[in-house]
Structure 1
């Protein structure tokens, strides 16, 4: 990875979304004309390099910040002269920053670019805003005035940034501005008093605790992408049987998946479009919410094996129908019918269906209609992404595989379920150990690889990530993105893996892409964004993302832990305590224990520095170092532990869930386990090695070893004085050498 200091200019058309809706082709023509006639000429004159254009904006790098500002000033002055002749010309806002950037091929990204982008959004139409680092280098070299805008808190930027607006009206105004600076000191002092009073009011009002809908709703219209953009609304189930809802949803999912494989299309993810399910909403409103031009809507009617699909493609700019079709067939024709809808859309929007996209369909389709039906029933559970629903999805995917042993996507879906169980330790929901979940995932993945699917590569990436094999996980996700460029999950998982491996700056563009494809993102996307911001020490942004994640999914204990740590770094102890209290409640309900530094999960941070940052935030939040009792002399000596365990029959329960467990340990340290051990990540084997290391007891089975400290009834957690508590990570169980009544 190459880093360097660079002058970065970001330019953007003011109000481009509205201009494009009024006259899309005209807006594009004017943008291209400005790019070639005004920007490119002056960029070259000042030794700049045009990195890329992004819809209605452009990113430029300069070797000198003085040249960058001179270029921007010349551009805006040229645009100002043209304004008198052309009342309909585009107006640009420009931001300039001098900062550290990451070089990746011909592209640059990182904090230096992010700050330039945020400064651009502060500029007025036809204006320029620069950072304090840029101002320090250019103040004495340019014939323009600068007005300080003060320190600004910019989105996704941890520290406040000094900002300055450039005054383009006349030479020599700089001196005038400087003279006025002294007279403004009295006003500033008064403002500070007002701000102090306002901050007290703000603390009471707490605008940062606004509802999740506000956090996820764009503050301005999303710009239309450079290529045809489409949102597929949930197809209505018009069958006589309301239980066919899953089938209509599955048909919608299938169309989204097929369209997302076409690189010339921009396709909104199903999570966002399904937010409109059952609601009366106009195409124009959907277009405004999601930032797309075309809306596909339709219906599915199923009677036994007979199918009818109605579909129509609407141009949201004028409300007209671009294309419509009615298709009849049988359940065995379902993929052919989907293909006809996809082909009709591609023809209407003049995009190409390549031979590669035709080949990919082999992994997504099955000739066995009953297998497809079983897959859809499983997918209905899988898309909800809760541990309970994933467990319910497994029998349907396995049934689909049984009906069609060549069904690639069914294998991939089954592999994904077990990979998620393995990665996030959800095996307590199944009567299997964590290692058995991994073995299942690997088994299904071997068959899934015979048919290339994005879902299969995503599952493989999770298996690699679970074992901290980050390069392998990244490689799998690159394959997934190549196969299905419109799948938002591939980008979110890429951000997840990059952040986990200590590369959060590289993760930011990926999570942004994921959230542009899915403007109403799921909880996991917000969790990943929170991890990324936290890793970059943008604690306010991390808290906002983590809080949103918990509001989308109140059962997400990982987001609560991240939220508490972010609040801790921000010094918001009361809020941190509330987050920890919610985490502890969930943890106990799931069979775990209250949060401590020594037992809390590391979330998904692989690097020591990131884990230490998490622990530091939790310490600020008031989380204790160890479970109650560990620091108060209640540890047992090895001889005591041996007498309690070896040669004994023991019974107990998992704290929180109450699951019963049993173990019989021979005098030589071999054990047979049964009962609630599965929730601790180990199965019910007949031969487990038990060893004692200090006051720790380890149960080893194949590649799995569970090691925990044994305490004498700490903090009243045990039911009686005869019970002892064994801590394994964030889990705990009690045991006693005496049978319970």
Structure 2
């Protein structure tokens, strides 16, 4: 059902976007009402118990049954009479409610194709693991990620970020449709097979505008040569796209393939739960033990400590020191790695070392102008410095490079839009991407409060506090690296108005 829209009578409900339209005209409905309506129309003619509907409208919260009664009454008033003259929602005494109308499931509307950038644009789709061993999946993923990283360091190219490329992993989709959704002209596809100490890679570069295959090649090498093969593939693609052979600046590679595999596996856990972050910590610690000079492992371990701060409600002095030390070590080991640079920059900003942070961010963007995560992190720090328009530009660039981003991108997006006073845009952006709402709920709640929708703001606060029970306005205002006191007060005002705890 995910991504589905539902049509009944003159109405179309899009639960994912949080919209209801009547004869293609937007209808103003409450957030809770839309959640209840979505649950009902997804199962027409079925009786949904009051408990089921309470869980749909107020997930994870204990609320009085009267709240459900009020929302159903508001929905009935909003929808009016059905074409048969009766009510769309029938009451089943002492049991629950049933949706009585005819419902057509429309499916997910296709995303509008994104415009092509001015420079050659490419997405590297996840390489297929054609080994008989499913454990080699992480090796195939690592190859894909490294090719993305290598290509993105070429300033003359526009390269889609890892998260968006991997949105298509394991999905049978038309390649031209994928190119349109990502807004790129070229796609790199391939497969990898590892066995008996050897690796075989098949790769092809396709122009999705003309349908031409610009380049295709097979590599059959010793497993120890995998990084040399990656460099060769990257050089061939750059030659095909830019018309000349250009070798990107060299990267410092790990000396242990086992450490490399552990780091790849850890990266896939970084945007997940606190439990997954703990597992990533163990994998990264083991990788460093195997390869003490592996810069990327240090970088991810530093961010892993930062994630631990967020989940636990705030950093201790000891954990802050460890994370910063790890980030500095990563940059010292590989000064040419943009990921290491921006990770250090972000931590330096939270230590109020603003001049050093700004310099590291600038160096990271210089090294890799396609590093979407760097642009998103830079937006966060830039907005808090009071340069709101600049921060908005940065987060929009991050979303263009990464149209299907990790959940944390919605935090700097909500923050930047709120800082710009675009409260309705905050609501639309964050409600459209409900599955990505984590800490960004606080900006949604504040924006709803500023729009006068206090009941809905309170509801978002309740949900936010379920995942962030230790949050307080005072602690947040003191911890965030603001360089603009007036902007800090604007956020505090919205948080208070929404009902977040002092």
TM-score in terms of structure 2 length: 0.74
Q: CA separation of 1:494/1:543 partners in 2, compared to 1, >3 Å: closer, same or farther?
A: same
Which residue of structure 1 aligns with residue 227 of structure 2?
A: 335
Which residue of structure 2 aligns with residue 240 of structure 1?
A: 132
Which residue of structure 2 aligns with residue 616 of structure 1?
A: 493
Cα distance in 1 for partners of 2:435, 2:367 equals: 29
Q: Is the 8 A contact 2:450 2:494 kept in 1?
A: yes
1:552 aligns with 2:440: no
Deviations 1:138-170 (A, max 9, x none): xxxxxxxxxxxxxxxxxxxxxxxxxxxxxxxxx
Which residue of structure 1 aligns with residue 280 of structure 2?
A: 393
Cα distance in 1 for partners of 2:254, 2:496 equals: 53
1:450 aligns with 2:333: yes
Cα distance in 2 for partners of 1:508, 1:388 equals: 32
- Map 1:177-188; keep pairs closer than 5 Å: none
Cα distance in 1 for partners of 2:185, 2:384 equals: 36
Match of 2:249 among 338, 346, 358: 358
**Greater radius of gyration (CA):** 1
Deviation at 1:217, TM superposition (A): 8.7
1:502 aligns with 2:386: yes
Query: Per the alignment, in what secondary structure is the counterpart of residue 298 of structure 1?
Result: strand
Cα distance in 2 for partners of 1:393, 1:353 equals: 38
- Map 1:28-177; keep pairs closer than 5 Å: none
Which residue of structure 2 aligns with residue 489 of structure 1?
A: 373
Q: Is the 8 A contact 1:272 1:520 kept in 2?
A: yes
Q: Is the 8 A contact 1:531 1:562 kept in 2?
A: yes
Cα distance in 2 for partners of 1:241, 1:199 equals: 51
Match of 1:579 among 453, 460, 473: 460
Query: Per the alignment, in what secondary structure is the counterpart of residue 203 of structure 1?
Result: coil
Which residue of structure 2 aligns with residue 567 of structure 1?
A: 448
Greater relative CO (CA pairs within 8 A, separation 6+): 2
Cα distance in 2 for partners of 1:305, 1:427 equals: 46
Which residue of structure 2 aligns with residue 403 of structure 1?
A: 290
Query: Per the alignment, in what secondary structure is the counterpart of residue 585 of structure 1?
Result: helix
Q: CA separation of 1:307/1:219 partners in 2, compared to 1, >3 Å: closer, same or farther?
A: closer
Deviation at 1:533, TM superposition (A): 1.1
Which residue of structure 2 aligns with residue 65 of structure 1?
A: none
Deviations 1:180-236 (A, max 9, x none): xxxxxxxxxxxxxxxxx9999722488x9899xxxx999743221122110111111
Which residue of structure 2 aligns with residue 440 of structure 1?
A: 322
Deviation at 1:294, TM superposition (A): 0.5
Deviation at 1:479, TM superposition (A): 0.9
Cα distance in 2 for partners of 1:245, 1:568 equals: 46
Cα distance in 2 for partners of 1:441, 1:401 equals: 15
Query: Per the alignment, in what secondary structure is the counterpart of residue 381 of structure 1?
Result: coil
Deviations 1:280-338 (A, max 9, x none): 11221011111111111111112253211111111111222111111112321110111
Cα distance in 2 for partners of 1:547, 1:353 equals: 46
Which residue of structure 2 aligns with residue 202 of structure 1?
A: 27
Query: Per the alignment, in what secondary structure is the counterpart of residue 302 of structure 1?
Result: strand
Which residue of structure 2 aligns with residue 367 of structure 1?
A: 255
Q: CA separation of 1:370/1:523 partners in 2, compared to 1, >3 Å: closer, same or farther?
A: closer
More helix by percentage: 2
Which residue of structure 1 aligns with residue 179 of structure 2?
A: 287
Cα distance in 1 for partners of 2:244, 2:365 equals: 18
Q: Is the 8 A contact 1:413 1:455 kept in 2?
A: no
Q: Which moved more, 1:218-227 or 1:485-494?
A: 218-227
TM-score in terms of structure 1 length: 0.51
Q: CA separation of 1:334/1:413 partners in 2, compared to 1, >3 Å: closer, same or farther?
A: same
Deviation at 1:522, TM superposition (A): 2.5
Q: CA separation of 1:575/1:239 partners in 2, compared to 1, >3 Å: closer, same or farther?
A: same
Q: CA separation of 1:584/1:418 partners in 2, compared to 1, >3 Å: closer, same or farther?
A: closer
More strand by percentage: 1
Cα distance in 2 for partners of 1:296, 1:533 equals: 34
Q: Is the 8 A contact 2:477 2:488 kept in 1?
A: no
Cα distance in 2 for partners of 1:443, 1:596 equals: 28
Cα distance in 1 for partners of 2:389, 2:189 equals: 38
Which residue of structure 1 aligns with residue 118 of structure 2?
A: 226
Query: Per the alignment, in what secondary structure is the counterpart of residue 399 of structure 1?
Result: helix
Deviations 1:672-724 (A, max 9, x none): xxxxxxxxxxxxxxxxxxxxxxxxxxxxxxxxxxxxxxxxxxxxxxxxxxxxx
Which residue of structure 2 aligns with residue 526 of structure 1?
A: 410
Q: Is the 8 A contact 2:361 2:378 kept in 1?
A: yes
- Which structure 1 segments of 5+ residues have no match? 1-196, 627-741
Q: Is the 8 A contact 1:283 1:319 kept in 2?
A: no
1:471 aligns with 2:352: no
1:305 aligns with 2:305: no
Deviations 1:507-552 (A, max 9, x none): 1221111111112222222221110111111111122233345x23
Q: Is the 8 A contact 2:299 2:340 kept in 1?
A: yes
Deviation at 1:622, TM superposition (A): 4.2
Q: CA separation of 1:236/1:209 partners in 2, compared to 1, >3 Å: closer, same or farther?
A: farther
Cα distance in 2 for partners of 1:415, 1:620 equals: 35
Cα distance in 1 for partners of 2:377, 2:358 equals: 9
Root mean square deviation of aligned Cα: 3.1
